Amino acid sequence: MTSPPEAKTRELDALIIGAGFSGLYQLLCLRDRLGLSVQVLETAGGVGGTWYWNRYPGARCDSESHAYCYTFNAELMREWQWSERYPEQPEIMRYLNHVADRFDLKRDIRFNTRVASAHYNEAANRWHVRTEAGEEFTATFLITAVGCLSTANVPNIPGLETFAGRWYHTGQWPHEGVDFSGQRVGVVGTGSTGIQAIPVIAETAAHLTVFQRTANYSVPARNVPLTEDFKRWVKENTAEIRHATRATPNGHPFFISERLAVSTPVEERQALYEAAWEKGGLQFRATFQDLLVDKEANDTAAAFIRGKISEIVTNPATAAKLADIDHPYAAKRPPIDTDYFETYNRENVSLVDVRAAPIEWITPQGIRTREGDYPLDIIVFATGFDAMTGPLLRMDIRGRNGLLLKEAWEAGPRNYLGLQVAGFPNLFTVTGPGSPSVLCNMPVAIEQHVEWITECIAHLRARDLARIEPDPDAVDRWVDQVNEAANATLLPLATHSWYLGANVPGKPRVFMPYAGGMAHYRQICSDVAARGYEGFVLS
Ligand code: NA7
């Protein structure tokens, strides 16, 4: 009898973890442009990354559709037509599947495959990657394309396991959907996700109770179907749209006004805010240049939005709770909505302030706060993510001498340009902490990182170099720059924000994304490369 075949280790030039926006484009670049052998490993059953999982009611991107796409291929830009001002989750999934099929990417993606560990072997200069199912791969380059918002943060509330009803996290939504009709539903969380889901759930639930810990600003999205004229304009202006997204600090296709809120006469300022409110969307924060850097300026926007909340919400006690916001406008990710505040005027919706009376327990019947019991059939946790570092640290990633990434980042993420970690040669983190990532329209940040990584690998191969890793001094300097950039804005004033890791108990409080602006960051990365990868050690 012959012995059974041994599990074979597949040898690759590059292994990519994740098949969302970043993983797909990274595969295309390394496989088709550089001719490398590449494998993508993906936990989900299909492409899409965070959009594969975030199927909750109302899930929609808050970047405008004509800029929420790849721009590397003008034909692709012209042939794809978005239907609404903001793309809805199913349409984004259709788009990413279209891209994957158009460029024949799926044949190199292994779905339903979760990476358990990735260990660097110094003698061989290779990454040894193992999946949870026990498959093994080795690769010279390891690229994490795991997204920033992909590890669900389910709060550790005692008693959850005793709940007799059903509960869901918005970032792990069942594919078959959830029927809320006739149900008493509780939504915990009023970030961008809760603010999108609440109005939709309220339409069918018998009763919806919203558990709000931190009140939030929100501006109307004003979503509409795109007109034929607009679609034509997009097709005719692909180069201009691409240029705009590359020239602005946050990768959106709109420019920030040069006006200052503090020096604009009150009536004119009010009129400008009114116009921006009518127009809707994230560009509300572009009304004035000083909104994110000057507290006095920010206060004017905050007061305007609070005024709108009081105008819209008819119950004064509810309006007061919703407008009792403890941070500057846009210091947390600013949500945009469709009828969010209006939803509190419905008979079947009530608001519970869990800052004043925290959730203490989940009982078999529902949620118990310090002040009372709320019987529920369904609990929806719209409680966000272990953002940015979460998806990386849940894998067993070890660099030189077995150094665990989790240990290297015990006091918070430390890397160079958000791209590479000292002691982890040939590991690249697409939109890693320390890069603009979540402060930017994501596809723009992703394309820049993927292209930089591709050029870097091409540079190494052209020179017969085997390895790249950052110089620890360059890491120290970059961490300082990330902190300085954040401190030059009002962003750190939102002390509960996930930008700071404050939403996950025990997570180090470090401002994670680079706040110096995408266009500026792009220039820094290009200059580093042009100077022979300054700050990196190539060998
Ligand atoms: P966010 O923005 O992190 O919002 C999560 C919300 O859940 C927020 O209101 C939290 O309150 C609340 N939360 C979290 N844990 C609890 C507990 N234990 N009890 C009560 N309330 C809680 O996540 P989203 O999914 O809305 O948005 C994430 C990003 O996805 C978004 O910015 C877009 O970029 C897309 P807190 O503010 O922490 O007091």
Q: Quote the pLDDT of residue 8.
A: 82
Pocket-forming residues, ligand 1, beta carbon under 6 Å: 149, 155, 188-194, 211, 213-214, 333, 354, 359, 382-384, 438, 496, 498, 503
Q: Quote the pLDDT of residue 460.
A: 98
Tell me: pLDDT of 387 over 80.
Answer: yes
Pocket probe mutation, ligand 1, options 192, 198, 218, 340, max atoms within 8 Å of Cβ: 192
CA atoms within 13 A on the CB side of 472: 2
Tell me: pLDDT of 9 over 70.
Answer: yes
Tell me how far the alpha carbon of residue 393 lies from the centroid of ligand 1, in angstroms. Answer: 20
Tell me how far the alpha carbon of residue 503 lies from the centroid of ligand 1, in angstroms. Answer: 7
pLDDT (mean) for 346-353: 98
Residue of 84, 343, 330 lying closest to 222 (CA atoms): 84
Average pLDDT, the chain: 97
pLDDT (mean) for 314-334: 97
Tell me: pLDDT of 456 over 70.
Answer: yes
For residue 317, count CB atoms less than 10 angstroms from its CB and return exposed for 0-12, middle for 13-18, buried for 19 or more: exposed
Which residue, by CA, sits nearest to atom 16 of ligand 1?
A: 383
pLDDT band at 459; cut points 50, 70, 90: very high
Check if the beta carbon of residue 249 is closer than 8 Å to that of residue 292: no
Measured CA to CA, the distance from residue 147 to residue 23 in angstroms comes to 9
Atom of ligand 1 nearest to the CA of 216: 9
Q: Quote the percentage of the chain above a pLDDT of 90.
A: 98
Q: Quote the pLDDT of residue 474.
A: 98
pLDDT band at 222; cut points 50, 70, 90: very high
Q: Quote the pLDDT of residue 496.
A: 87
Measured CA to CA, the distance from residue 87 to residue 21 in angstroms comes to 14
Check if the beta carbon of residue 462 is closer than 8 Å to that of residue 469: no
Q: Quote the pLDDT of residue 5.
A: 55
Tell me how far the alpha carbon of residue 382 lies from the centroid of ligand 1, in angstroms. Answer: 6
Which residue, by CA, sits nearest to atom 31 of ligand 1?
A: 192
Give tens-digit pLDDT for 149-207.
989 999 999 999 999 999 999 999 999 999 999 999 999 999 999 999 999 999 999 99
pLDDT band at 437; cut points 50, 70, 90: very high
Which residue, by CA, sits nearest to atom 6 of ligand 1?
A: 189
pLDDT (mean) for 208-226: 98
Atom of ligand 1 nearest to the CA of 502: 38
**Helix (H) / strand (E) containing 131:** strand 126-131
pLDDT (mean) for 135-139: 98
Residue of 529, 534, 531, 525 lying closest to 449 (CA atoms): 525
Which residue, by CA, sits nearest to atom 3 of ligand 1?
A: 384
Which residue, by CA, sits nearest to atom 10 of ligand 1?
A: 189
Q: Quote the pLDDT of residue 197.
A: 98
Tell me: pLDDT of 3 over 80.
Answer: no
Which residue, by CA, sits nearest to atom 33 of ligand 1?
A: 192
Nearest-10 Cα torsion for 526, 149, 288, 447: 30
Pocket probe mutation, ligand 1, options 68, 383, 431, max atoms within 8 Å of Cβ: 383
Tell me: pLDDT of 232 over 90.
Answer: yes
Q: Which two tokens stand for residue 160?
A: 């959850």
What DSSP line would sit under 166-220, residue for residue? EEEEGGG--TT----BT-EEEEE--SHHHHHHHHHHHHHBSEEEEEESS----EE
**Beta strand extents in 355-466 (DSSP E only):** 359-362, 366-369, 373-375, 378-381, 396-398, 427-429
DSSP 377: S
Residue 390, beta-bridge partner list = none
Radius of gyration of the chain (CA): 24
Q: Quote the pLDDT of residue 187.
A: 98
Who contacts 243 (Cβ-Cβ below 8 Å, separation ≥6)?
Answer: none
Who contacts 85 (Cβ-Cβ below 8 Å, separation ≥6)?
Answer: 64, 65, 221, 222, 223, 224, 225, 226, 281
CA atoms within 13 A on the CB side of 445: 30
Tell me how far the alpha carbon of residue 54 lies from the centroid of ligand 1, in angstroms. Answer: 14
pLDDT band at 308; cut points 50, 70, 90: very high
Which residue, by CA, sits nearest to atom 32 of ligand 1?
A: 333
- 376-381-385 Cα angle (round to 5): 170
Give tens-digit pLDDT for 494-526.
998 999 999 999 999 999 999 999 999 999 999
pLDDT band at 412; cut points 50, 70, 90: very high
397 alpha carbon, distance to own chain's centre: 21
Tell me: pLDDT of 1 over 90.
Answer: no
Tell me: pLDDT of 2 over 80.
Answer: no
Tell me how far the alpha carbon of residue 189 lies from the centroid of ligand 1, in angstroms. Answer: 5
